[in-house]
């Protein structure tokens, strides 16, 4: 009778979500429609006020950030202020995709390279992490076996794995990929396993009564039931990967937004670093929203029910 | 008399809890014959659902044996279909797909795809849900979901159909129409049914025998009432039938005098 809830704790765990099924639901008898709201004008006014509040509050937040930045930049002459940065941004984004050889490419190319890295690694992590999560969630033995390993390795900063990557792959680019892979695999494993464990007993009873084959159980019951959890894992994994890629690229070099930041630091173009910070934020936000949108589409009425 | 389909001998069920061993059921003896409709009734916590789960194979007895067709029940299986109280339709499948999943499991080995589809349609038509075949469970009402749940169970042509308070979550009017529906399906298929209920009228209306359970813990069968009313039964006519009233009174007497719940 619990309604769907999927709350996330700070460390990326997902609280088990229960799907409402036992609720007396809507009775089959026709219901009389609710009377229309008596004062639509008043309602509309309320909605408008709510909207205005959001706009004003959001503007105040951004304004506050700009004000702090302005104040700090006037006291620290080395830090470019919003005006200077804006001018630099206009220049930078006038031609984001120029290419003067591997050491001098437009900021657009750098972002795309980073996204490509995250995309490939994230795909690899999903290909390994999701099946592992299923196995760990489904079978007690593997659950117990995996627990100490996951608990031990998950809190480690992914960058600590960089030397191992360099040693094994003998290649900076591969080492960066390895780091992203490591950091995105944990949320996938943990959320998938938690999702498998949270599949309502009712659905598993259906599987038991029908005596479905393990393959059918996985494809017809577990996978659809766990999909919302998997997508949460995906969202966390992509978020973490996007956080880590900047640091990894700073250390390994090559092409990518993280390396670009480091390069601009060496060129002492601080306004470019600030632009990169905003750009990284915007891309991260866009990724988050895109994945939320997908998750909402995949959460068939089950979760609202 | 032929051998019973379900035979329960001295079955008991105990659960190990962190407060020690909890005996839910003891000394259950019950035979269920082909074509019979048996209700299990009792106060909440009397283990009637536990008994149903033993027949379903969802739980295994810790004492005695449960047999189906002379073989020990070692786990769940499609020959003992279950209608769950909360319908348990899979929300990512349409009504048709939910029933098809069951049909496919039971008949795919010997029938073609079109035959399987025809079976699925027939099952949904039987409960008058063919109009909503392509709807998802969250798009239909609670009563309609339960109809689909019943269609799914019947579509497997089980030897015994187990129903765990199938209409418990529905309002009175919907419940009555589903009871009528169920009686119609029973008349057509001659199915064997075991149903858990807490509704005295429902038990008398539908059953050939009403199994009355004593209060838990360590519940067992108190009395068994045979309902000798002709079928098909009509709820309106029975409302004025003195035999119906007498059966009803017998159950009420058992529940509220002999098994009065100690003040909770």
Q: What is the pLDDT of residues A6-35, one digit of tens each?
A: 444 444 444 444 434 334 444 444 444 445
Higher pLDDT, B217 or A164: A164
pLDDT of residue A11: 43
Contact (CB<8Å) A209/B58: yes
Inform me whether the pLDDT recorded for A184 exceeds 70: yes
For residue A206, list chain B residues with Cβ-Cβ distance below 8 A: 84, 88, 90
Prediction pTM value: 0.73
Contact (CB<8Å) A301/B142: no
pLDDT of residue B1: 55
Contact (CB<8Å) B171/A305: no
CB-nearest to A305 from B81, B85, B91 is: B91
For residue B90, list chain A residues with Cβ-Cβ distance below 8 A: 203, 206, 220-221, 224
* A19 close to B (CB below 8 A): yes
Contact (CB<8Å) B91/A220: no
Residue of A18, A25, A201, A224 best to disrupt the B interface, most CBs of B under 10 A: A25
* B125 close to A (CB below 8 A): no
Higher pLDDT, A218 or A39: A218
pLDDT of residue B9: 93
ipTM for the predicted complex: 0.85
* B105 close to A (CB below 8 A): yes
B65-to-A184, B32, B70, B160 alpha-carbon distances in Å: 51, 14, 11, 17
Contact (CB<8Å) A24/B170: yes
Extract the residue ranges of chain B whose pLDDT is less than 70: 1, 261-264
- Where residue A298 falls among pLDDT bands split at 50, 70, 90? confident
Contact (CB<8Å) A221/B84: no
Taking the CA of residue A19 and the nearest CA in chain B, the distance in Å comes to 10
For residue A212, list chain B residues with Cβ-Cβ distance below 8 A: 101, 105
């Amino acid at each position: 009778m619990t309604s769907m809830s999927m709350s996330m704790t700070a460390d990326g765990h997902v609280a088990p979500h229960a799907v409402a099924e036992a609720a007396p639901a809507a009775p089959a008898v026709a219901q009389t429609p609710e009377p229309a709201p008596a004062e639509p004008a008043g309602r509309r006014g309320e909605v408008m006020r709510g909207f205005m509040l959001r706009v004003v509050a959001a503007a105040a937040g951004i304004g506050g950030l700009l004000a702090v930045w302005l104040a700090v930049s006037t006291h620290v002459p080395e830090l470019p202020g919003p005006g200077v940065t804006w001018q630099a941004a206009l220049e930078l984004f006038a031609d984001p995709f120029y290419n003067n050889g591997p050491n001098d490419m437009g900021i657009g190319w750098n972002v795309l390279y980073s996204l490509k890295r995250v995309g490939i690694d994230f795909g690899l992590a999903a290909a390994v992490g999701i099946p592992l999560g299923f196995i760990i969630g489904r079978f007690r033995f593997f659950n117990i076996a995996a627990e100490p390993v996951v608990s031990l390795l998950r809190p480690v900063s992914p960058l600590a794995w960089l030397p191992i990557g360099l040693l094994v792959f003998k290649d900076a680019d591969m080492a960066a990929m390895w780091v992203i892979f490591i950091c995105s695999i944990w949320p996938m494993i943990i959320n998938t396993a938690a999702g498998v464990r949270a599949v309502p007993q009712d659905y598993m009873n259906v599987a038991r009564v029908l005596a479905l084959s393990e393959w059918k159980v996985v494809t017809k019951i577990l996978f659809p039931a766990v999909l919302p959890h998997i997508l949460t894992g995906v969202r966390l994994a992509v978020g973490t990967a996007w956080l880590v890629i900047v640091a990894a690229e700073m250390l390994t070099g090559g092409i990518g937004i993280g390396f670009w930041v480091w390069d601009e630091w060496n060129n002492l173009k601080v306004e470019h670093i600030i632009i990169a910070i905003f750009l990284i934020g915007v891309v991260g936000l866009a990724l988050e929203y895109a994945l939320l949108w997908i998750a909402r589409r995949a959460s068939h009425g089950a979760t609202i029910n | 008399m032929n051998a019973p389909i379900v035979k329960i001998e001295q079955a008991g069920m105990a659960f190990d809890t962190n407060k020690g061993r909890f005996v839910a059921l003891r000394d259950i003896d019950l035979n269920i014959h082909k074509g019979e409709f048996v209700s299990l009734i009792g106060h909440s916590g009397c283990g009637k659902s536990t008994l149903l789960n033993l027949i379903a194979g969802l739980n295994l007895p810790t004492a005695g044996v449960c047999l189906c067709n002379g073989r020990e029940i070692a786990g769940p299986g499609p020959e003992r279909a279950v209608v769950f109280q909360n319908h348990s339709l899979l929300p990512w499948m349409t009504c048709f797909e939910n029933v098809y999943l069951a049909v496919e499991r039971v008949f795919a080995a010997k029938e073609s795809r079109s035959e399987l589809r025809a079976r699925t349609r027939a099952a949904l038509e039987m409960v008058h849900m063919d109009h909503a075949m392509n709807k998802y469970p969250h798009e239909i009402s609670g009563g309609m979901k339960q109809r689909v749940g019943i269609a799914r169970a019947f579509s497997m042509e089980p030897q015994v159909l187990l129903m765990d308070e199938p209409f418990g979550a529905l309002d009175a009017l919907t419940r009555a129409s589903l009871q009528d529906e169920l009686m119609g399906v029973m008349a057509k298929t001659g199915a064997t049914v075991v149903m858990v209920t807490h509704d005295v009228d429902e038990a008398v209306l539908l059953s050939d025998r009403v199994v009355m359970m004593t209060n838990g813990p360590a519940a067992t069968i108190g009395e068994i009432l045979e309902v000798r009313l002709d079928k098909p039964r009509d709820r309106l006519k029975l409302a004025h039938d003195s035999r119906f009233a007498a059966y009803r009174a017998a159950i009420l007497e058992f529940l509220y005098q002999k098994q009065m719940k100690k003040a909770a």
